[in-house]
């Protein structure tokens, strides 16, 4: 029997919060990647993530102390609520100790790389010494005036970013789990990859698509395992976008955020009803993920879809995986 294994937390960009959830000068605790972190935004709007505990004597930078408050934003830094040491959000260096004549040379905490894309605060997970090895795209749907957000959802599951990605290329389960009438033809789905980007294009496999008067084509683009765009081509007069960001909380739990963009001309017709149907399609998978395990060398057949191609691409984010 093939023994199951536990995947480590992958490298890549993962969502810490929706951008609108963090206001200037706000400080929030985070529990991501099995690690306690602190998220804060400076007065000029820049978001930062540091290790949660002050290297001085271990106070939590975001948690309030008895009779007082938690850490406060000071310029580009956050002030520890215990002794008022101040840690730069960009470099992690200690920039001020109110009662010291000299700051120790090794006074530094870990600063995690952060960017904002698609209305989300994305943080890079990797080794402390490495810089991000790829960037995330800017989305015209988020940065222009032609589109609007018509739906957001957040779901915690007993799963991993790897499982979430593999589920989207697993064609056979669409019949048994989701009620599709016929097994999809894998030959109608094309797969290509370049470095950290994976592109999958093919007809929609959702049961709801069978009732549509036109063919709905899904254009999926993975940018690592934590940032996925799905464009729905073929809808007359519309080109909606579903942005999926899956973040590992630890090795067996993840938080997934869905953001659905529609152009303003069709937002009333392609809105909550359409996206609710999409989200209802995810629910049957949750019970599967609750109990499934990762099989490093699965036995696959020719009707499974591009699972092998997906796994070869995804392996780059698990340099020490089984």
CATH code of the domain in which 95 resides: 2.102.10.10
Taking each helix axis from N to C end, the angle separating 307-314 and 161-169, rounded to the nearest 10 degrees, works out to 150
Q: pTM score, two decimals? A: 0.92
The CB-side HSE value for 155 (13 A sphere, CA atoms) comes to 19
Domain extent for 22: 12-125
Mean pLDDT of 198-210: 71
Structure tokens at 180: 């599709």
What's the pLDDT at 236?
62
pLDDT in tens, 97-125: 999 999 999 999 999 999 999 999 999 99
Same domain, residue pair 150 and 290: yes
Q: Are residues 276 and 308 in the same domain?
A: yes
Q: How far is CA 316 from the centre of its chain?
A: 17
Contact 261, 232 (CB under 8 A): no
Query: Taking a C-beta distance cutoff of 8 angstroms, is the pair 97, 85 a contact?
Result: yes
Q: Are residues 88 and 157 in the same domain?
A: no
Provide the token pair at 264.
Answer: 């303003």
Tell me: do 20 and 88 sit in the same domain: yes
What's the domain count of the chain?
A: 2
What CATH code is carried by the domain that includes residue 221? Answer: 3.90.380.10
Residues 204 and 271 in one domain: yes
Q: Is the domain of 254 the same as that of 312?
A: yes
| Whole-angstrom distance, CA of residue 96 vs CA of residue 194 | 44
159 membership: H or E segment, kind and range: none
- Best CA proximity match to 219, nearest among 196, 187, 190: 190
Q: What is the pLDDT of residue 214?
A: 52
Q: How far is CA 18 from the centre of its chain?
A: 10
Q: Decide which of 97, 125, 153 is a domain's last residue.
A: 125
Whether 80 is covered by a domain: the verdict is: yes
Classify residue 182: in a domain, yes or no. Answer: yes
Give the pLDDT confidence of 263-290 residue by residue, as tens digits: 888 777 776 666 677 777 777 888 888 8
d(CA 232, CA 239): 6
pLDDT band at 213 (very low <50, low <70, confident <90, very high): very low
């Amino acid at each position: 029997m093939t023994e199951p294994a536990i995947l480590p937390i992958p490298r890549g960009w993962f969502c810490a919060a929706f951008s609108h959830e963090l206001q200037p000068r706000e400080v929030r605790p985070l529990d991501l990647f099995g690690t306690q972190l602190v998220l804060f935004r400076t007065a000029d709007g820049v978001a930062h993530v540091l290790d949660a505990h002050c290297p001085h004597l271990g106070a939590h930078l975001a948690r309030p102390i008895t009779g007082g408050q938690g850490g406060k934003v000071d310029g580009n830094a956050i002030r520890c609520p215990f002794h008022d040491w101040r840690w730069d959000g960009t470099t992690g260096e200690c920039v001020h100790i109110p009662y010291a004549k000299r700051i120790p040379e090794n006074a530094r905490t870990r600063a995690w790389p952060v960017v904002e894309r698609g209305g989300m605060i994305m943080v890079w997970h990797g080794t402390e010494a490495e810089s991000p090895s790829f960037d995330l795209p800017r989305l015209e749907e988020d940065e222009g005036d032609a589109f609007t957000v018509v739906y957001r959802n957040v779901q915690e599951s007993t799963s991993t970013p790897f499982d979430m990605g593999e589920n989207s290329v697993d064609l056979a389960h669409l019949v048994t789990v989701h009620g599709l009438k016929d097994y999809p033809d894998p030959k109608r789905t094309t797969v290509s990859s370049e470095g950290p980007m994976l592109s999958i294009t093919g007809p929609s496999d959702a049961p709801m698509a069978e009732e549509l008067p036109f063919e709905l084509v899904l254009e999926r683009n993975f940018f690592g395992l934590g940032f996925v765009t799905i464009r729905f081509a073929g809808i007359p007069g519309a080109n909606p976008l579903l942005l999926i960001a899956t973040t590992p909380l630890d090795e067996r739990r993840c938080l997934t955020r869905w953001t659905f963009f529609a152009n303003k001309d069709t937002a009333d017709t392609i809105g909550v009803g359409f996206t609710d149907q999409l989200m209802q399609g995810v629910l049957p998978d949750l019970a599967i993920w609750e109990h499934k395990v990762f099989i490093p060398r699965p036995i696959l057949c020719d009707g499974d879809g591009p699972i092998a191609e997906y796994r070869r691409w995804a392996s780059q984010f698990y340099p020490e995986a089984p």
